[in-house]
A and B are shown apart, each in its own frame.
Chain A
């Protein structure tokens, strides 16, 4: 596997309809909200979880795409049988003695586990090499407009406990957003993928898989709480140089999102105009839209 040679910055748009994209445990599982701006938030870890689950699903948990941080919910019983001898030679390249042992371990983990190659991990070794910084850095997604969560009371006609038997009905609660469009930013560092000592070996193939996960992961994450969630657009800025060719804030500013004329309450992705300024791109910058072929984001 050859590590990636380019830096990437990406803008990721996804939306939710009549669902809760990410509950806030401090707030009775209401959708997360930034109190001052009243905009919705989805945490980075929530998005990473879905990426992991997608890769798990597609690759069946097989090395070199095994997933280290697993959820019991997505474990399928096939795994246990499927782990046969890997045939991956433990790399025994001579390394400086002080942290060579830890390096060997972290490298082996990177070779086998997709999520460690992509996002990094912390391991219990004393030396610094026990910490792997992955090349992918994801940030909180923020909604384009303010959100107004609705509380929906629901009833259920059966009860769990014997002692409630005469009640016949119990009430429950759901929080939903009628509609919200979220924007998230991410960064992929070529240096942290390919650096001689720190690199995780995150490859071009891994990169394609990661983008595929972003485009499709909500399709495999359906649940009663989520409502309809969809990836709308993934706009990737590819830099020719590993250290980059342009400032991220200038690139991200090229992606503009606004409500269409006459729309007061957006209720669909088609209520928004998404513009990508392709004029006078800095030299060495290329715009890629990996989700275009996935039947999403037609807006």
Chain B
């Protein structure tokens, strides 16, 4: 196993939407491995590597807030676009948002902060130049300087994430003493129930789940292919 990376991320809000409650969005209590992977990929990713999340450290007690917004129900219809392309004008292509309006509430997390612990594996797209060391260096260099492909986000793009590298050899930041409560699984581990592990894009996009437990502020994430990950 390659040496892993640790990245601290935090922001004002987050929404890691539960797939069973995605119309009126309700966030999970903690970040999902899939969202953590997206954050790492926003900083560095190439087809030659695959990020594997090892653990998610939760730095403060989850606190929720409800935000209701006007949203649009429809997507841009491909067929209409195609015919407008052929015609060469935009007549009637626009969406009138006041006619396709849905007011949806999102139950989002307030002031979340996490440390993502992860490593990566090389995929079969890797060639001779791709070594784990090289990609590790690239990631560490970018994360240290605050460089990114696009600003990472906490679940949805309007909740931007600030990030900083936890330098190798430094201890992993933990929650403040006041937050070391049973809500973060201090004392007795807290069962978070079934939680999205990731979506398998390669084979028809099934969602995979695992039983998440928050123990001493940390969710250990099962490895890809382990029996704990269920489709």
A: residues with CB less than 8 A from B are 9, 24-26, 32, 34-36, 41, 43-45, 63, 66-73, 75, 80, 83-88, 90, 102, 105, 108-109, 112, 121-125, 130, 133, 135, 137-140, 142, 185, 187, 189, 191-192, 241, 243-250
Check B12 for interface membership: any CB of A closer than 8 A. yes
B103–A243 touching, CB < 8 Å: no
Q: Which 7 pairs across A and B sit closest by C-beta, in order of nearness? A: A247-B146, A189-B150, A187-B151, A44-B158, A243-B147, A123-B76, A249-B162
Contacts of B69 in A (CB 8 A): 25, 43, 45
Which parts of B7-61 form the interface with A (CB within 8 Å)?
Answer: 12-13
A40 to B159, CA, bound (A): 16
Min CB gap A17→B, angstroms: 24
What residues of B have a CB within 8 angstroms of the CB of A66 in the complex?
Answer: 90, 94
The number of residues on chain B lying at the interface, defined by a beta carbon within 8 Å of a beta carbon of chain A, is 48
Knowing A45-B70, A70-B94, A80-B91, say if A105 contacts B150 (CB, 8 Å): no
Q: Which of A86, A102, A140 contacts B13 (CB 8 A)?
A: A140
Task: Determine how close the nearest CB of chain B comes to the CB of A129; give it in whole angstroms.
Answer: 11
Pairs across A and B, CB under 8 Å, 10 listed: A43-B158, A69-B94, A71-B98, A72-B96, A86-B90, A108-B85, A137-B150, A189-B151, A244-B147, A245-B147
- Distance in angstroms from A31 CB to nearest chain B CB is 13
Cβ–Cβ < 8 Å partners of A9 in chain B? 151
The 8 A CB mask of B45-89 against A (1 = contact, 0 = none) is 000000000000000000101111111100111100110011011
Contacts of A25 in B (CB 8 A): 68-70, 103
Name the residue on B nearest A87 (C-beta): B88
Residues of A within 8 A of B157 (CB): 133, 137
Q: Report B85-108 CB contacts with A as 1/0, cut-off 8 Å.
A: 110111101111111000101000
Q: Is the CB–CB distance between B151 and A248 below 8 Å?
A: yes
A292 to chain B, nearest CB (A): 25
Known: A137-B153, A187-B151, A248-B162. 17 other contacts (CB 8 A): A25-B69, A43-B158, A44-B158, A68-B93, A68-B95, A70-B94, A80-B91, A90-B86, A121-B76, A122-B76, A123-B77, A135-B150, A139-B159, A192-B150, A243-B142, A244-B148, A248-B151
Bound complex: CA A85 to CA B91 (Å)? 10
Supposing A137-B151, A243-B149, A248-B162 touch, asked if A24 and B68 sit within 8 A by C-beta, the answer is: yes
B110 contacts A by Cβ under 8 Å: yes
Q: Is the CB of A69 within 8 A of B150?
A: no
Residue of A nearest to B81 (CB): A105
What is the bound-complex CA distance between A9 and B13, given in angstroms? Answer: 18
